[in-house]
């Protein structure tokens, strides 16, 4: 019954773009002996019971008694091996990289999402302070660190400090520049906590992102599209174009573009690249792309053109759309940060 409920809650948040995009996020359910965590390669929106990996909780607990090397790569490699070895017999799927974190949270159900509104808070310079004012002792704030063993260890320490201080455990974990974890004993409570968080944040929002469309000359878009396709590395790429009120404001000039120039959360880095390229003068587009390549050792996936709009590139039509979705997510987060003291 409980795995069925895990499937239900996973699909519920997986299908809602205000919580998750591009198949991100993960969920889990635990009983006395086992934890069932989303496996890599499955999307929450369409997950079935076989999309979860069964892990032995005792084996996972032993990870915390082990001594790992100081070297980051070696440590993560060994911890990952121990995570893989904690799978119940017969399991072949790969558990999510955040499985350790799911396992240390005491609640039966744990849901991890990346809502733009929540990330407006987690990416703001006053985020931590505001989170403490809004959620008091219900939440802990975790600074930005790489996912995996080290993040789980940091949260484990925070949880035991919290427990000593308050003799209870928080049900909300806010990860700086990433998203949130919510834990509860029932899926009803999971939904209530999410509603509480979003409802609380909504009251703080002074300006909602305005994605109403803006008219752009088709001839102009066609011209830029051809210039991008003319660049040798982009001749087979699929390109998506978008403009709206917020994009228009962001592509006004180099300064206004700064707020969306770099990734806010890991999803942006994965799907939109380490930097979004801003083209000030179309005559220099090839040069700008060359320089981008030198700076970042890869080609841009997002190309913004001054006073025109944003183009996203992908090997398939779908991937150029996903990159656009993640760019728009970054833009939303940028707008939401304005309600929490700016980024
Ligand atoms: Zn995440």
Averaged pLDDT for residues 81-88: 94
Q: Give DSSP secondary structure letters for 295-326.
A: HHSS--SEEEETTTEEEEEESSHHHHHHHHHH
Interval between CA 97 and ligand 1 midpoint (Å): 9
- DSSP per-residue string spanning 238-261: EEEEE-BHHHHHHTSSHHHHGGGS
pLDDT in tens, 165-175: 888 889 999 99
Look at 306 and 145; give whichever has higher pLDDT: 306
Q: What is the pLDDT of residue 84?
A: 94
Mean pLDDT of 325-334: 97
Centroid of ligand 1 to alpha carbon of 285 (angstroms): 34
How far is the C-alpha of 177 from the C-alpha of 273, rounded, in Å? 16
Q: Is the pLDDT of residue 104 over 90?
A: yes
Residue range 13-40, pLDDT digits in tens: 999 999 999 888 999 999 999 999 999 9
pLDDT recorded at residue 105? 94
Question: What pLDDT score does 1 carry?
Answer: 60
280, 305 Cβ separation under 8 angstroms: no
Angle at the Cα of 47 from the Cα atoms of 44 and 49, rounded to 5 degrees: 130
Please give the distance, rounded to the nearest whole angstrom, from the Cα atom of residue 327 to the centre of ligand 1: 17
Q: CB of 257 within 8 A of CB of 338?
A: no
Indicate if the alpha-carbon torsion angle 267, 271, 273, 279 is positive or negative: negative
pLDDT in tens, 4-15: 999 999 999 999
Average pLDDT of the residues in 120-135: 95
Burial (CB count <10 Å: 0-12, 13-18, 19+), residue 298:
exposed
CA 41 / ligand 1 centre spacing (Å)? 14
> Contact, 165 vs 157, CB < 8 A?
no
Ligand 1 centroid, distance to 287 Cα (angstroms): 35
What integer pLDDT is reported at residue 72 of this predicted model? 87
- Residue 253 Cα to ligand 1 middle (Å): 32
List all residues 6 or more positions away from 73 whose beta carbon is below 8 Å from its beta carbon.
none
Structure tokens at 55: 């892990």
Q: Identify the pLDDT of residue 76.
A: 87
In the predicted structure, residue 196 carries a pLDDT above the cut 70: yes
In the reported structure, the alpha carbon of residue 142 is separated from the centroid of ligand 1 by a whole-number distance in angstroms of 13
Distance 213 CA to ligand 1 centre (A): 30
- Whether the CB-CB separation of 181 and 138 falls below 8 Å is answered with no
C-alpha of residue 264 to centroid of ligand 1, in Å: 12
User: Same CATH fold, 218-340 and 2-202?
Assistant: yes
Ligand 1 center–CA 80 separation, angstroms = 17
Q: Give strand pairing partners of 278.
A: 304
Between the CA of 26 and the centroid of ligand 1 the distance, in Å, is 7
The pLDDT score that the predictor gives to residue 24 is 87
Is domain 2-202 given the CATH code 3.40.225.10 in the classification?
A: yes
Residues 16 and 334: their CA atoms lie apart, in Å, by: 20
Give the DSSP per-residue string, 178-232. TEEEEEESSHHHHHHHHHHHHHHHHTT-S------B----HHHHHHHHHHHHHSG
Q: Taking the CA of residue 10 as centre, how many other CA atoms within 13 Å lie in the half-sphere pointing to its CB?
A: 29
CA of 281 to the centre of ligand 1 (A): 36
Q: Residue 232 Cα, ligand 1 centroid: separation in angstroms?
A: 35
pLDDT at 97: 82
Name the token pair of 97: 């990289």
- Determine the average pLDDT of the residues in 186-211: 97
From the CA of 332, how far away is ligand 1's center (Å)? 17
What is the distance in A from the centroid of ligand 1 to the CA of 95? 14
- Give the β-pairing of 34-38 and 26-30: antiparallel
In tens, the pLDDT along 221-273 reads 999 999 999 999 999 999 999 999 999 999 999 999 999 999 999 999 999 99
13 C-alpha vs ligand 1 centroid, how far in Å? 13
What whole-number percentage of the chain has pLDDT above 90? 88
CA distance 8 to 327: 29
| Cα 177 to ligand 1 centre (Å) | 10
Quick one: which of 334, 288, 294, 339 has its CA closest to 311?
288
Is the predicted pLDDT of residue 96 greater than 90, yes or no?
A: no
Average pLDDT for the chain? 94
CA–centroid distance, 43 to ligand 1, in Å, is 13
Domain layout of the chain by residue ranges: 2-202, 218-340
Q: Determine the distance separating the centroid of ligand 1 and the alpha carbon of 337, expressed in angstroms.
A: 19
Domain range 218-340, CATH class:
alpha beta
């Amino acid at each position: 019954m409980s795995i069925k409920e895990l499937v239900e809650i996973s699909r519920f948040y997986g299908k809602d773009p205000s919580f998750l995009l591009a198949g991100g996020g993960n969920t889990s359910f635990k009983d006395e002996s086992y934890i069932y965590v989303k496996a890599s390669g499955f999307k929450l929106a369409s997950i079935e019971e076989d999309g979860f990996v069964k892990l032995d909780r005792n084996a996972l607990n032993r990870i915390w008694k082990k001594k790992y090397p100081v070297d980051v790569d070696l440590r993560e490699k060994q911890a990952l091996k121990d995570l893989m070895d904690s799978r119940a017999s017969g399991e072949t799927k790969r558990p999510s990289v955040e499985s350790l974190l799911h396992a240390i949270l005491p609640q039966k159900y744990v849901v991890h999402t990346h809502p733009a509104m929540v990330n407006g808070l987690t990416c703001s310079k006053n985020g931590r302070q505001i989170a403490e004012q809004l959620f008091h002792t219900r939440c802990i704030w975790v600074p930005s660190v790489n996912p995996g063993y080290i993040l789980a260890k940091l949260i484990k320490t925070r949880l035991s400090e919290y427990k000593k201080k308050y003799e209870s455990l928080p049900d909300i974990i806010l990860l700086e520049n990433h998203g949130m974890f919510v834990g509860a004993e029932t899926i009803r409570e999971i939904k209530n906590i999410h509603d509480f968080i979003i409802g609380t944040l909504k009251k703080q929002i002074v300006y909602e992102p305005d994605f109403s469309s803006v008219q752009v000359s088709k001839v102009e878009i066609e011209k830029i599209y051809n210039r991008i396709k003319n660049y040798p590395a982009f001749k087979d790429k699929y390109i998506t174009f978008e403009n709206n009120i917020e994009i228009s404001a962001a592509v006004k000039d180099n300064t206004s573009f700064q707020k969306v120039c770099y990734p806010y959360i890991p999803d942006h880095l994965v799907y939109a690249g380490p930097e979004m390229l801003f083209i000030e003068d179309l005559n220099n587009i090839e040069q700008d792309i060359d320089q981008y390549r030198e700076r970042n050792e890869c080609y841009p996936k997002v190309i913004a053109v001054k006073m025109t709009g944003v183009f996203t590139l992908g090997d398939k039509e779908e991937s150029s759309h996903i990159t656009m979705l993640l760019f728009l997510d970054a833009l939303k987060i940028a707008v939401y940060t304005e309600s929490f003291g700016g980024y």
